[in-house]
C-alpha cells in the first residue's frame, strides 16, 4: 500500500470537515489521525521484523555456502587428480 503523508494542510482540513461531527472541539480531530498513525507504525514494525528475519536467514545461508566452497577448494588442493 502506498504511504499516506499527513501534512499540516490535511490536518487542518480534517479539523474543519464534517466527517467527525461528534469530535470534541480543538484537538479532538487528532484522534482518527493518531489511530491511523498507530496502525501504520505497527505495520512498519511487522515489516521490519520480517526484513530482520530475512537478513538472518541470508546470513546463515551465506556462512553455510562459504563453508561448502572452502571445503571444495581444500578438496581440490588435497586430492591427487589423475592427469
- Which of 5-14, 37-46, 65-74 bottoms out in mean pLDDT, i.e. has the lowest? 5-14
pLDDT in tens, 44-70: 999 999 999 999 999 999 999 999 999
Q: For residue 1, what pLDDT is reported?
A: 47
pTM, two decimal places: 0.55
Phi-psi region of 79 (alpha: psi -120 to 50; beta: other; left: phi over 0): beta
Q: What is the pLDDT of residue 33?
A: 80
Domain spans of the chain, in order of start: 31-77
Amino acid at each position: 500500500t502506498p504511504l499516506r503523508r499527513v501534512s499540516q494542510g490535511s490536518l487542518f482540513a480534517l479539523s474543519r470537515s464534517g466527517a467527525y461531527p461528534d469530535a470534541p472541539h480543538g484537538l479532538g480531530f487528532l484522534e482518527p489521525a493518531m489511530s491511523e498513525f498507530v496502525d501504520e507504525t505497527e505495520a512498519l514494525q511487522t515489516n521490519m521484523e520480517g526484513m530482520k528475519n530475512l537478513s538472518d536467514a541470508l546470513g546463515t545461508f551465506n556462512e553455510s555456502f562459504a563453508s561448502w566452497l572452502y571445503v571444495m577448494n581444500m578438496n581440490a588442493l588435497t586430492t591427487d587428480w589423475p592427469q
